A and B are shown apart, each in its own frame.
Chain A
Amino acid sequence: MNFLDHITDRLNDRLIGLFPCERRQAFGVVKLIRLNGDKSAKPKTVPGAYQIGTKNVNTYIIDDRFSVNSYFRLTSMSARRVPGGYGDENGRIVLTHNIALILCANMEDVGLRDDEIALAIQFGFPDRLSPDQYPSRDFYSIVFNVNTIQVAAEQIFREEFTNVDFFLGPEHALLKVNFTVESTMNKKCFQSLCNTEKV
């Protein structure tokens, strides 16, 4: 399983606990994809995912039939070394993934205003994964930190959707949660870049 899919699955489990609505749509990691479409219209940019192998493109438009919609978008990744290590190891690697969680909720259905939803996410977000939740044996720690939560719906919509008319009503809250995932890992223990299954 892909590392980010594993992380977002754990976070989606937590979000379901925070917002236990029946009509819920939760996606993993997407990217902004340009759709050329009709030549007479301007190309749109929307969140979507390219499927390796099938070459299909799945787009994720916020669907207001659902009480809660969410997806994740990786914005950047960095790495640094920390002192220490054993044997010939030149310190451990700490990977930092900067990820945005975009969440659209119907405030009537969840019973919370947008600022209350932001607080619920801030306090409900996990601090770290426990060792039994690590994707494989190569990780020493996986720690989360929520940095900022944006609540300006139109601004977030314009950042995520280009040349798409704003269709959300006043009953919708659209939030962007910018958080980091810091993973301390032993690079030497990775079996293969393509395989992070637990042994």
Chain B
Amino acid sequence: MPYPVYYATCAEKLPDHIANSCADSMEHGRVRSVALVHTSYLDALKLDPEDPTNWLAGIDEKLIIIIPETTGTYDGGTPVDGPGYGDLETSLAGYRHVIAYKDPNFKANCEFYNVIKHSRSWVPAIRLETQTLLFDKPAVIIPKAPVTEDLNADVVFDVELRISQPDIPCPFDTPADIFIPFAYV
């Protein structure tokens, strides 16, 4: 009597791939704004991240911090390899994501960055041209403020956010009037 062979198959729910050659389907670069969302508010925000009222409620409760004007990069995620089985040499275990941004408001935010760098409770979101990416896991926040010899160079906060999560964050339309700087007074 042959031994029974157990087959385990995973049902794939693969969405359709969309191809669009129109120019307005392109998104352009620079991490233009950063938001830090407290882990206690993340689920509420994820219910509808395109709705500005969700954001405003979090901002009012100081569970969302908006840094409206930044310049920076997101590395897209560095893959973390896991063990492979069968014919696969390795498997994809997850990603390490790094966001590096510059905050030009150096003079006023030393205390802010000195306190928040100890916290593990803030999940980042980054605004691109028209889209926003909201991560799932909290970041390690590493600020520094380098000074160069150039008289004309800005002294800014150079901040690195490191996140470990398995998925690449998916873009959604940036909610209106959330990432604007306060009125110039």
Chain A interface residues (CB < 8 Å from chain B) = 84-89, 128, 140-141, 143, 184, 189, 191, 199
Contact = CB atoms under 8 A, between A and B. Distances in A.
B102 interface: yes
Contacts of B181: 87
B152 A86 contact: no
B104 interface: yes
B122 to A, nearest CB: 20
Contacts of B33: 87
B152 A184 contact: yes
A34 B149 CA distance: 49
Given A87-B69, A87-B179, 9 more contacts: A86-B32, A86-B69, A86-B104, A87-B181, A89-B69, A140-B152, A143-B152, A189-B184, A191-B184
B180 to A, nearest CB: 9
B184 A87 contact: no
A70 to B, nearest CB: 28
B33 to A, nearest CB: 6
B45 to A, nearest CB: 21
A140 to B, nearest CB: 8
A199 B152 contact: no
Interface string B3-42: 0000000000000000000000000000011000000000
Contact of A86 (B70, B129, B151, B184): B70
Interface string B109-135: 000000000000000000001000000
Contact of B32 (A84, A87, A128): A87
B185 interface: yes
A18 B69 CA distance: 43
Given A141-B152, A184-B152, A86 B185 contact: no
Interface in B61-77: 68-71
Contacts of B70: 86-87
Contacts of B71: 84-87
Contacts of A141: 151-152
A84 B152 CA distance: 13
Identify which of A88, A128, A140, A141 gathers the most chain B CB atoms within 10 Å of its CB. Answer: A88
Contacts of A199: 185
B31 to A, nearest CB: 10
13 contacts: A84-B71, A86-B71, A86-B102, A87-B33, A87-B70, A87-B179, A87-B181, A88-B32, A88-B129, A140-B152, A140-B154, A191-B184, A199-B185
Contacts of B152: 140-141, 143, 184
A87 B182 CA distance: 13
Contacts of A89: 69
Interface string B123-162: 0000001000000000000000000000110100000000
A86 to B, nearest CB: 4
Interface string B65-106: 000111100000000000000000000000000000010100
A88 B180 CA distance: 10
Contact of A87 (B68, B151, B185): B68
Contacts of A84: 71
A99 to B, nearest CB: 21
A87 B33 CA distance: 6
A128 B152 CA distance: 11
A132 to B, nearest CB: 15
Interface in B159-185: 179, 181, 184-185
